[in-house]
Amino acid sequence: MNRITKAGKQGRFESRTHESRNCRGSRVGRAADTHATTVDLLFFWFRDSFLVSWVPDFLLIFSCIPAFVINSSSAADVVIGSKKFTESYVLGEIAKRTLTDAGISAEHRQGMGGTIILWEALRGGQIDAYPEYTGTIATEILKSDSSVSLDQIQDSLKKVGIDTTAPLGFNNTYALVMRRSEAQRLGIRTISDLRKYPELRIGLTHEFLDRQDGWQPLRERYALPQQNVTGIDHALGYSALTNGSIDVKDAYSTDAKIEENDLVVLGDDLQFFPKYEAVFLFRSSTRPDAIAALGRLKGTLNETSMIRLNAEAERTKNYTRAADLYFNAGVALAPRTSERSGPSRFGDSFPGKLARWTLRHLQLAGFSLLLSIIVGIPLGIVASRGGAVGQIILGFAGVVQTIPSLALLALLVPLPFFGISVRTAIAALFLYGLLPIVRNTATGLQDIPRTLRESAVALGLSPMARLWKIYLPIASRSILSGIKTSAVINIGTATLAALIGAGGLGEPIISGLNLNDHVTILEGAIPAAVLALLVQWCFDLLDRVLIPKGLRL
Amino acid sequence: MQAARLPRQNDTMSALVRLLDVSKRYADTLALRPTDLSVERGRTTVLIGPSGCGKSTLLRLIIGLVEPDSGSIEFDGAPIGPDNIDSVRRRIGYVIQEGGLFPHLTGRNNATLMARYLGRENEETKQRLSELCELTRLSESLLDRYPLELSGGQRQRVSLMRALMLSPELLLLDEPLGALDPLVRASLQKDLKEIFAELKQTALLVTHDLAEASYLGDEIVLMNEGRIVQQGSIADLREKPAEPFVSEFINAQRGITSL
């Protein structure tokens, strides 16, 4: 649970412990630009979904939403992938620009997921290259020790048709940071220097506290005397550090916050932290001129410049512009012109963003609600007949409901079909919305007086006719109220979809949480609340249309 | 099998419904002991008896709401089974105490539900509805109201119209007037008697009110503790009681009415 909460606050959502290391670098940048990728996934999912086969109307509804039927394949020569955090986005954009400048058409699929997803996409040929770190390649991909050399890494990778570029120049590893003023006052420059100040208060992320290569071995290696060590959320930890509640915290060495908050990285004088040097992984079969172009990035980025690019990307939420900084040595260019890499067709203005978030939010909540209705009402009908099957259905739906929504997302992510994708968000929302509909359908039907049931039977109506003409209309109020509950829950819960990059009004909320920025949180929270009220109101109107008049007297 | 039944159907007392050795048990109570009963064509048979005597169970067995544990029920000479129960139901009208009208349908739609379901011609249905309005003395304008907008007596009239819509051979009435106040009840009793007479309707009515039974019934069947105690006219029951219970029941009712 600890992990989940923390992951949520940090704006990423990876259930596998080994995945967490991949979110190196600044973890703050949210997946603002995942639209095209996630849309593709959703499209294929719905197209292949078993549901479609028995719900043809689904396709019809589906085709009415143009946003869902765009961009399903790539025409570019080289496809670059990136992971779901700012630094990976920026590096992906740099690669794209590098290739484009070399006359090679390139596409950047932003924020596809974590290491496993990117690695499988690379091996499967869906992408040709993506930025990765040597330590991650060694431990996560090759499952070996983080001390192996780059040559050894390359030898192993070549066996599966993958290669790496030379290091780009910076090392994004764990680091301890302090306020610059405090460090200067005490004369602390390295981790060893901390030994002299046992009274310093240390605030560490829960992950760093728990890691095998985290705080405990670090403390032993350096013989650190500090007793006041607390676990704190990554983003909140920066606030705590700047306002003086703590003196030392863990960070990543290229974290944009280091520059923003005027912090210093303490030197790892005993070389405790493993090397996480940035490289590009690419398929050996990629066209040679593209490989050559990526090779020219060797040694061109140091920690300081990467911190600056990350800070620019986070400040503007414009990864292309941050990448342009790399090429133009500090000159911020005019807004990008590429039609594909823009965050959305609505542009970047607040109303545009709000429209995009809201539309996506409604799509998430709407699709999942539709699924909940299509599945929930038949289940409710079966459940209304009682017996073991009814008990199992109501029991299952009830158990799903008792799982916290965040945990439900976390449970789905490791399943083969799901992962970090919109389908996971919709599946979780669908499951979450199921119980109110199933239960209300079942109780609505069970509450029909026996005399009315028997009258329907005695008339000689067939079982189907009884259901459609008598039972369901009489239960309509209860069923609709279940659907309404489901819809309102979905609108609220859909904010969590942003945790797995599915977008929606949760995007600003989670960005805001990461940035500790209340205004950004409210940009998502207020529209979400308004939306929930609107949905409630719409359903109240719908009641008047759908509930037979004779039941409303 | 049909041939064997035919002579019996042509008896002077030709039976529309025949129960042969029918019994029904609910959990640990025997609702109906093995019972024989004939419901004769064109006559009104009244089942009477104290609460829980099995009279409603008998009705529910005929319409197929419960299945007998033993014995067989014949309708128009053919045994009722799962394969013909729906077609039998469409030849039977069923009226219950609360009316059993569907609250989401107007009176008109309640009455014509089955006709529409069976795809009967619209004009024919309309005409039948007018006839029934006249017969049940219900203003046709009330048919556009929902059950909740009708009084108890009006609801029972609509319910009766629904039951009679398809011109059923048999009308089953389970305490149809039980929930009405005395004045409405008296007027409906009178109307029912006229309707039965006019339609020469075969009817099987359940009541616990002896006055109602003697007013409406050609044949009275007194039941107690799941069995038929005596069957005959009200005079038979009064003058030739088969057992002490018959006199007890009649005297108890008389006591109340003489107050």
Identity of the residue in B63, B100, B148 whose CB atom sits nearest the CB atom of A553: B148
Asked if B148 and B103 count as a contact pair (C-beta separation under 8 A), the reply is: yes
Closest Cα in chain B, distance from residue A366 (Å): 29
| B103 interfaces chain A, CB cutoff of 8 Å | yes
* Angle in degrees, CA A269, A273, A275, rounded to 5: 110
**Mean pLDDT for chain B overall:** 88
Contact, A79 vs A107, CB < 8 A?
yes
Name the token pair of B47.
């089942």
- Has residue B238 been placed in a domain? yes
CB contact under 8 A, A550 and B86: no
- The answer to whether A379 and A146 are in contact (CB under 8 A) is no
Cβ–Cβ under 8 Å, residues A520 and A512: yes
Residue of B nearest to A553 (CA): B148
Chain A contact for B26, CB < 8 A?
no
A481 φ/ψ angles, rounded to the nearest 5 degrees: -70, -30
Verify whether the Cβ–Cβ distance B114 to A460 is below 8 Å: yes
Question: B150: domain range?
Answer: 14-258
Residues in chain A with CB shorter than 8 Å from the CB of B174 are: none
Do A438 and A376 meet the contact criterion of CB atoms below 8 Å apart?
yes
- Rounded distance between C-alpha atoms, residue A387 and residue A391, angstroms: 6
Instruction: Lowest mean pLDDT of A318-332, A529-543, B74-88, B146-160, name the range.
Output: A318-332
Q: For residues B115 and B238, what is the distance between their CA atoms, to the nearest angstrom? A: 43
CA distance B155 to A249: 78
With residues binned 3-state (H G I as helix, E B as strand, rest as coil), the percentages for chain B, rounded to 5, are 45, 25, 30
Place of tokens 């945990």: A407
With CA atoms as reference, report the closest residue to A176 among A226, A235, A248, A237: A248
Which whole-number Å values give the CA distances from B91 to A187, B17, B94, in the listed order? 102, 12, 10
Q: Is residue B9 part of a domain?
A: no
- A109-113, A491-495, B72-76, B148-152: range with lowest mean pLDDT: A109-113
Alpha-carbon distance B18 to B29, whole Å? 24
Please check whether residue B4 lies inside any domain of the structure. Answer: no
CB contact under 8 A, B63 and A461: no
Which pLDDT tens digit goes with each residue over B29-68?
Answer: 889 999 999 999 999 999 999 988 999 999 999 999 999 9
**8 A C-beta contact, residue B204 and residue B45:** yes
* B104: chain A residues, CB-CB within 8 Å: 473-474, 476, 548-551
Contacts of A447 in chain B (CB under 8 A): none
What are the tokens at B180? 């009405």
Pick the CATH number of A350-551 from 3.30.360.10, 1.20.1250.20, 1.10.3720.10, 3.30.413.10: 1.10.3720.10
Entry pTM: 0.60
- Between A455, A460, A461, which is nearest B96 by CB? A455
Residue B104 in contact with partner chain A when CB distance is under 8 A: yes
Residue A471: closest C-alpha in chain B:
B102
d(CA B82, CA A340): 66
| Contact list, B60 vs chain A (CB under 8 Å) | 454
Q: Which of A449, A455, A551 sits opposite B104 (nearest CB)?
A: A551
Cα–Cα distance, A174 to A275 (Å, whole number): 9
Nearest-CA distance from B230 to chain A in Å? Answer: 28
Partner residue opposite A458 with nearest CB, options B65, B103, B146: B65
Give chain A positions within 8 Å (CB) of B98: 449, 451
Domain with residue B180: its CATH number is 3.40.50.300
pLDDT score of A254: 87
Q: Which amino acid is at A435?
A: L
The amino acid occupying position A234 is: H
pLDDT along chain A (553 residues), means of 10: 35 33 35 34 37 36 34 67 86 92 88 79 89 87 81 90 92 90 92 92 79 81 87 75 87 86 90 89 92 90 86 81 76 33 46 87 94 96 92 90 82 72 86 93 95 93 93 95 93 83 79 68 91 92 89 84
Most B-contacting residue of A447, A453, A455, A552 (CB-CB within 10 A), to test interface:
A455
Q: Looking at the partner chain, which of A458, A470, A476 has a beta carbon nearest the beta carbon of B102?
A: A470
Say if CB B22 and CB B66 are below 8 A apart: no
- CATH for A24-30+71-169+276-328 (3.40.920.10, 3.40.190.10, 3.20.20.140, 3.90.120.10): 3.40.190.10
Classify B152 as helix, strand or coil: helix
CA dihedral (A301, A302, A305, A308) in degrees, to 10, reads 110
* Within-domain flag for B202: yes
Looking only at the bridges linking them, the beta strands covering A174-179 and A229-231 are unpaired
Indicate the domain borders of chain A. Answer: 24-30+71-169+276-328, 174-265, 350-551
> Helix or strand or coil: residue A395?
helix
Q: In this structure, which amino acid lies at residue B158?
A: V
Summarised one tens digit per residue, pLDDT across range B90-123 is: 999 999 988 899 999 999 999 999 999 999 888 9
Mutate to test the interface with A, among B104, B112, B160, B173 (most CBs of A within 10 A): B104
Q: With both helix axes pointing from N to C terminus, report the angle between B107-117 and B122-136 in degrees, rounded to the nearest 10.
A: 140
CA distance A533 to chain B (A): 29
Backbone angles phi, psi at A463, to 5 degrees: -55, -40
Inspect the interface and report whether the beta carbons of B100 and A457 lie closer than 8 Å: no
Q: Which of residues 49-88 of B touch A (CB under 8 A)?
A: 60, 63-65, 86-88
Query: A460 and B106: CB-CB below 8 Å?
Result: no
Contact A459 B102 (CB under 8 A): no
Asked if the Cβ–Cβ distance from B65 to A451 is below 8 Å, we say no
* Residue A483: both structure tokens together: 């659907």
User: How far apart are the C-alpha atoms of A195 and A193, rounded to whole Å?
Assistant: 5
Give the total number of structural domains in chain B. Answer: 1
Please count the residue pairs, one from chain A and one from chain B, whose beta carbons lie less than 8 angstroms apart. Answer: 70
Residue of chain A whose alpha carbon sits nearest to that of B163: A459
Question: Which of A370, A364, A272, A303 has its CA nearest to residue A167?
Answer: A303
Contact A550 B114 (CB under 8 A): no
Closest by CA to B95, choosing from B173, B151, B190, is B173
Question: What does the pLDDT read at residue A520?
Answer: 79
User: Tell me, what's the pLDDT at A237?
Assistant: 79
Alpha carbon A129 to its chain's center: 21
Q: How far apart are CA A127 and CA A82, in angstroms?
A: 10
> What is the biggest distance separating any 2 CA atoms in chain A, rounded to whole angstroms?
93
* Domains A24-30+71-169+276-328 and A350-551 belong to one CATH topology: no
Residue A377 C-alpha, separation from nearest chain B C-alpha, in angstroms? 20
CATH class of A174-265: alpha beta
B90 at A interface, C-beta within 8 A: yes
List residues of chain A with CB under 8 Å from any CB of chain B. 449, 451-452, 454-462, 465, 469-470, 473-474, 476, 548-551, 553
**Distances, alpha carbon A526 to alpha carbons A71, A405, A429, A492, A530, in Å:** 31, 20, 20, 11, 6
Question: What pLDDT sits at residue B10?
Answer: 43
Q: How many residues does chain A have?
A: 553
Average of pLDDT values for B145-169? 94
Percent of chain B with pLDDT over 70: 93
- On chain A, the residues whose CB falls within 8 A of the CB of B173 are none
Tell me what percent of the residues of chain B surpass a pLDDT of 90: 72
What residue type is assigned to position B45 of the chain?
T
Please enumerate in sequence order all residues whose Cβ is within 8 A of that of B200, keeping only pairs 6 or more positions apart, or say none.
B42
